[in-house]
Structure 1
Amino acid sequence: MVEQVPQEVQAIQQEELAQEPITSQRTMLARDNTQPASSDIIKAHVTLLEHRVLLSTQGDHFRLVQHHYHRLQSWHDRHTGWRIQRSSTVMRLIRTLSTTTPGYLYERIKEPRDFACLTWILWYAEQRQLSGRGNDQQFLLSHLAEQIQEQSAQEAEGNEPFDFRRPGDRYSIQRALNYLEGLGGLQLVDGQTREWVEQSPDADVLYEFTDIARSLVSSLDARRVTQVAQRLNDPHTSIQPTYIAENDTTQPLARAWRVLLLGPAFCKFDDPVAFHALQQQSSQIAEELLNTFGWLLDLQRDYACIVRPAGSSSGPVNLLTPYGSNDQIALLLCNALREQVRSGTWNTPDSYGCVVVATEDMVQLFDAVRERYGENWGNEARHKSAQSLLNDVYRKMRQLGVMRGPDASGHLLILPTAARFKASYDKFEEQEKSNPRTRNKANTKRKKDQAPQAH
């Protein structure tokens, strides 16, 4: 079993692909002229890449990466330019971006204010270091909230400052704290965050920063963050190429490696020069990827991505399940998008395999999909307003890397990666084909929790 193996690759385009996906065999490495890496080395590479932070308390994983540190760093020196930050208790792969990945979110923090809270928490940790309180890393949540609220009011610049009397802001800081705690950057010393969020009388929480929080602060590139933030905050650039060109001296092939490893996909639209470099050395890269990580390269005319064995990934790769309503709707919309292009109803793909769609057209398409398949979805999706549900589906599609936008002018960008996904409610489709007159009857008898079959 593999994850996201395409059934109809590039069906969103009008012509056949010029080349097939690359699935190289396990052979000798062309660059190093050495034998393929052992399973131990492969496991070390995957562990380092798919853990945002490695702690000494994680035992075997930490020791494995520590043991192979020099070989791992040498590989990244050659291919990505990333460095491994390590100490006796913490190791992290510091990943420098060459492109942004809009919508590719972690599950624990989803909203912009969640990320803002996380940033303010790290700012607070830095201020404690600078103020000379570095040896005493314990703090009260109430004091943290007070500092964030005060500072965000001074630095608002048109953004709404935090006010932790609002439930939404309290939940945002809770999610940010839980995320940082999950990374090992925080330790809960006393109290319950939930009680503080629910504003129980006299409730407070005592936390303690760890070395990981200092590691996150020390590796922060403020110039790069500001540069990316300006791009992401500009609604006019939301469907533009995501390559961060300013002051980027990274070689094209290294940029290709970075985007591939960060996922979810590398579109030619974002960085044509790096994509061309990938095409020129596709066989070597496919072989290197297989020998280093045990993964396959799926290279198409307008995009490339990594195919991992199902269930083998513990890192932040995109999550897709046939049992979530939003996932089902996203897959079904990929079908419908393909049919709109194939039938000529919408514009043909551009030279990068992308299609620009007006939000009004997408709403009409979504309404048609909901009318046809809506009885298969869960209670929440069936009873949610159309626009609210569509916004949730947009988020999922951005996370999957198949769509961007909408932008300030009300347009969406459909990426060629949408053609990787195909889904159907098999039993219902068979009933329709055998006897169209029974469609309404079949609608009422389908199981509410029936999931589509993804191909």
Structure 2
Amino acid sequence: MSGIDLGPSISGALEAREAEGRARALRALLVRPVLRAQTDGELFRLARRHADALRAWFDRETGWRLAVESRTVRLLTSYVPHGATAIAVGERHPARARKGDPPFTRRRYVLLCLALAVLERSDPQISLGRLAEDVVLAARQPGLDGVAFTLAGREERADLVAAIRLLLAYGVLVRVAGDEESYVSAGGDALYDVDRRVLATMLSTTHGPGLVGTRLPSDPTIDQIEAALHEPPPAYTEEEATRRLRHAVTRRLLCDPVVYYDELPDDERAYLVGQRVQLTNRLAEATGLVPEMRAEGIALVDADDQLTDVRMPEQGTDGHVTLLLAEQLATGCHTDIASLRRRVRRLAKEHAAYWRKTTQEPGAENALVADALDRLVGLGLVRVTGAGPEAVVHPLPALRRFGVAAPTITTRRAR
């Protein structure tokens, strides 16, 4: 009686399980660049288990660094959008303290940076009130003349709390006692532990601010500072130049919902066109994303709908409005916003039984169109030029995937 060799099947099952674990950890890091043992449990353990493989993959494909600590795993990403579509997409994906919270404004971003600067020099424990006082003092330093914070009003305190909650989510701060809402109401306080290991990884740039500061003009713009922080060092060999191109293109594919060839620099476009099959195959294998390649560009589609904060299509009134407008715009016609508002007003009557009641109110179409266009621009599907009702919406090639053609009905011939 001959035995059955189960070795290959068991080995294959184990390899598949390991690959699935690496993909889950990699996808989790793309969604949340900081995984914590306290809040992310299984995903944190997977990232720690596959740390060597993940570190090698990110270094080879993107040039990003993976910092693994005993209680945190941090992916230090670095990406500056280039091109009209990528910039428009980036502008519509602001940070949020919590899901459903208002998006970060300029004031909140400045408060976040000031809070990080204060925490660098703070004690291991700090109260929210003390942190607020130090932020007010930091805002008075030379070079911040255009920034004024008193934190006396409820709105300003709410902005600071939004920055604090983002730091809580990243694990920079750990709440010991108290509550942020009581501080917003001007009657309470909160106490935090500062995790300096996580704090040290928050700044994610190619060059340190000290080095960049010596090469900037006396009054640099935000764009100049950002470009200098992320400017890659010179490549002295052909191999290094090719590596830089791979990093640049891969970052675009992972960070942007769609990459159009005509918006790429010549060297990146030539590299992507020549390597698109091999490159997208590697990304698909590692992330589970499905490459969609067309004549105009490439998009990596997430069939599991986990790697995006803006979904298309989406349930609900706003999602339905967006889908119906996308279907109209996918025909390739440029349309002004006033025309889209008139169409939504008609659609609100047709779908009155299914849409929320407020869509029947006068002027409701303005907010519906604005929300739909914000979603479509944020996904790289349309571009808007101009302002007000006369602004023109230009459909981009990727929008055609939402076009609906008239059905073709064929009759079956009798034999």
TM-score normalised by the chain length of structure 1: 0.65
Corresponding residue to 1:121 among 89, 108, 112 = 112
1:214 counterpart residue number: 199
Give the AA of the match of 2:348: Y
1-structure distance, mates of 2:396, 2:224: 19
Give the AA of the match of 1:365: L
Change in Cα spacing, 1:190 to 1:41, as seen in structure 2 (3 Å) is: closer
2:381 counterpart residue number: 402
Pair 1:175-2:162 in alignment: yes
Larger RCO, structure (CA 8 Å, separation 6 or more) = 1
2:172 counterpart residue number: 185
CA contact (8 A) 2:34 2:74 kept: yes
2:91 counterpart residue number: 102
User: Where is the helix percentage greater, Structure 1 or Structure 2?
Assistant: 2
Change in Cα spacing, 1:406 to 1:191, as seen in structure 2 (3 Å) is: farther
2-structure distance, mates of 1:294, 1:246: 30
User: What are the Cα deviations for residues 362-388 of structure 1, in whole angstroms up to 9, with x where unaligned?
Assistant: 232233223223635324454465544
2:317 counterpart residue number: 325
Corresponding residue to 1:277 among 247, 262, 271 = 271
Corresponding residue to 2:284 among 267, 271, 290 = 290
Corresponding residue to 1:76 among 51, 58, 62 = 58
Pair 1:64-2:49 in alignment: no
1-structure distance, mates of 2:311, 2:156: 26
Pair 1:254-2:254 in alignment: no
1-structure distance, mates of 2:128, 2:181: 12
User: What are the Cα deviations for residues 269-322 of structure 1, in whole angstroms up to 9, with x where unaligned?
Assistant: 4315324422222221232123222222111122311122325x2x44533453
TM-fit CA distance, 1:152:
3.9
Pair 1:393-2:382 in alignment: no
| Alignment coverage as a number of residue pairs | 356
2-structure distance, mates of 1:164, 1:391: 32
TM-fit CA distance, 1:191:
1.8
1-structure distance, mates of 2:32, 2:153: 34
1-structure distance, mates of 2:370, 2:317: 13
Change in Cα spacing, 1:43 to 1:203, as seen in structure 2 (3 Å) is: closer
Local SS of the residue matching 1:206: strand
TM-fit CA distance, 1:412:
5.6
Give the AA of the match of 2:194: F
Give the AA of the match of 1:306: L
TM-score normalised by the chain length of structure 2: 0.71
CA contact (8 A) 2:344 2:365 kept: no
Change in Cα spacing, 1:401 to 1:173, as seen in structure 2 (3 Å) is: farther
Aligned CA RMSD, in angstroms, stands at 4.0
2-structure distance, mates of 1:373, 1:298: 33
Local SS of the residue matching 2:165: helix
1:26-65 mapped onto 2 (5 Å cutoff): 38-57=19-38, 58-65=40-47
TM-fit CA distance, 1:258:
0.6
CA contact (8 A) 1:326 1:396 kept: no
Change in Cα spacing, 1:322 to 1:88, as seen in structure 2 (3 Å) is: closer
Change in Cα spacing, 1:316 to 1:118, as seen in structure 2 (3 Å) is: farther
TM-fit CA distance, 1:393:
3.3
User: What are the Cα deviations for residues 194-245 of structure 1, in whole angstroms up to 9, with x where unaligned?
Assistant: 222233xx32222332246513444356559x99943899xxxxxxxx9x99
TM-fit CA distance, 1:257:
0.8
Unaligned runs of 5+ in 1: 1-33, 234-241, 347-356, 430-455
Greater shift after overlay, 76-85 or 137-146?
137-146
TM-fit CA distance, 1:97:
0.6
Give the AA of the match of 2:190: V
CA contact (8 A) 1:122 1:217 kept: no
